[in-house]
Structure 1
Amino acid sequence: MPTPSQNMIELGIAQEGAAVLARPAVPFTLPAEAPDAHRVVTRLRATMSRVAAVHPFAKGMGLAAPQLGVGRAVAVVRAPDGRELVLLNPRVVDESPETDEQFEGCLSFFDVRGLVRRPSRIEVAHQDVDGHLTVTGFRDGLARLVAHEIDHLEGRLYRERMPPGAEVVPVSRYRGTGTGWSYGAAGRTVDQRAAEGR
């Protein structure tokens, strides 16, 4: 029986050690590169649907373009309730001093889970295909999902956020598969506004 990581390889997910995962992704020039952005988003969505067919994602899931071998700054996040977020050229512009630790998985090394500390709330500047800039706030589980994908676009894996000496847990011993985040809520979008209106 194939391992979770072998399943991801079969689905075309770049694995830890691939050079594309260690490089910052190149931002899109929008709206000039809107057709390119559309093509990558379509590919991300299609791959996410194939991944979801072979593994349950009660906590939601995300996929960044570098995980498909495409070094461009776009990621798609699916919240546990099915909402889908497309993040073009995203960057964290503010975060809460409050943090928490939760286990995370990554499709690029899916045989293990790691305990990662992240801010409880983040604000993210991102664009639409027309180039309009928006700042969206996320909290709890959704903040974690979004931050994980932005890390990918910055060439970082969650292992780098774990304390020195901290060990990942083999998925065979991880007991959180199929359960939601332990926030009480799955994570919420706090607000969204045009950046010009801040």
Structure 2
Amino acid sequence: MNSLLSIIKLGNPILRQSSSLIENIQDEQTQCLIDNLIMTVANANGVGIAAPQVSISQRLFIVASRPNPRYPNAPEMEPTVMINPKIVENSTEIVKDWEGCLSIPGIRGLVPRYHWINVEYTDRNGELKDNMLVDFVARIFQHECDHLDGVVFLDRVESSQDLISEEEYQRLQNLKT
């Protein structure tokens, strides 16, 4: 049975651990975790969520870009399950943009990321996939991949001047529209 999972917050030591590879993708617990992560990220108005954010230190995340109150301009895509993901190639161009995190509520940071990446991952059916991701979806992948290595977006912000409250971020976004 599917259920919403509790999202842990910054300070929980699991967020700072490297995650383990998933060996048995078809395992019932893994498949249940996938369904619960998809439900949890949608409920939290996120665009991605990694297993460590729900206290499970495994190399699995969901990329689920769609417009929502936290990301009104996000592109629409089906939730994509990414197991044992890795970046195999990346652009030399670095782009800074605002990121938030379900495990760090109330704060946004201006984070430098690769503009495009080629990635490999295994889907929930055990099929190896490779995709080229650009812009916002590439940013989500890099953010979630960091979670698998115990890194949070605050670690990538270049200066405390690049931090803003969620409330101020939303106010500035509303001025743009």
Deviation at 1:132, TM superposition (A): 3.3
Deviation at 1:173, TM superposition (A): 1.4
How many residue pairs get aligned? The number is 163
CA distance in 1, matches of 2:82, 2:48: 10
Counterpart in the other structure of 2:50: 64
Deviation at 1:110, TM superposition (A): 1.4
Aligned match of 1:40 in 21, 26, 33? 33
CA distance in 1, matches of 2:100, 2:135: 16
Aligned match of 1:142 in 137, 141, 159? 137
CA distance in 1, matches of 2:140, 2:128: 21
User: Percent of counterpart pairs with the same letter?
Assistant: 28
How big is each residue's C-alpha offset from its partner over 1:159-182, in whole Å with a ceiling of 9 and x where there is no partner? 1111144442111211355799xx
User: For the structure 1 residues 13 and 179, does the alpha-carbon distance in structure 2 shift closer, same or farther, using more than 3 Å as the test?
Assistant: farther
User: For the structure 1 residues 107 and 97, does the alpha-carbon distance in structure 2 shift closer, same or farther, using more than 3 Å as the test?
Assistant: same
- TM-score w.r.t. length of structure 2: 0.83
User: For the structure 1 residues 11 and 126, does the alpha-carbon distance in structure 2 shift closer, same or farther, using more than 3 Å as the test?
Assistant: closer
How big is each residue's C-alpha offset from its partner over 1:89-126, in whole Å with a ceiling of 9 and x where there is no partner? 10111110011110100011111100001010011111
Counterpart in the other structure of 2:154: 159
The 8 Å contact of residues 5 and 37 in structure 2, kept in 1 or not, is answered as no
Counterpart in the other structure of 1:18: 12
CA distance in 1, matches of 2:44, 2:77: 15
1:35-184 alignment runs, 5 A limit: 35-52=28-45, 61-80=47-66, 81-174=76-169, 175=171
User: For the structure 1 residues 42 and 178, does the alpha-carbon distance in structure 2 shift closer, same or farther, using more than 3 Å as the test?
Assistant: farther
The 8 Å contact of residues 19 and 58 in structure 2, kept in 1 or not, is answered as yes
SS at match of 1:24: coil
Deviation at 1:36, TM superposition (A): 2.8
* Structure 2 portions without partners, runs of 5+: 67-75
Alignment root-mean-square deviation, CA: 2.3
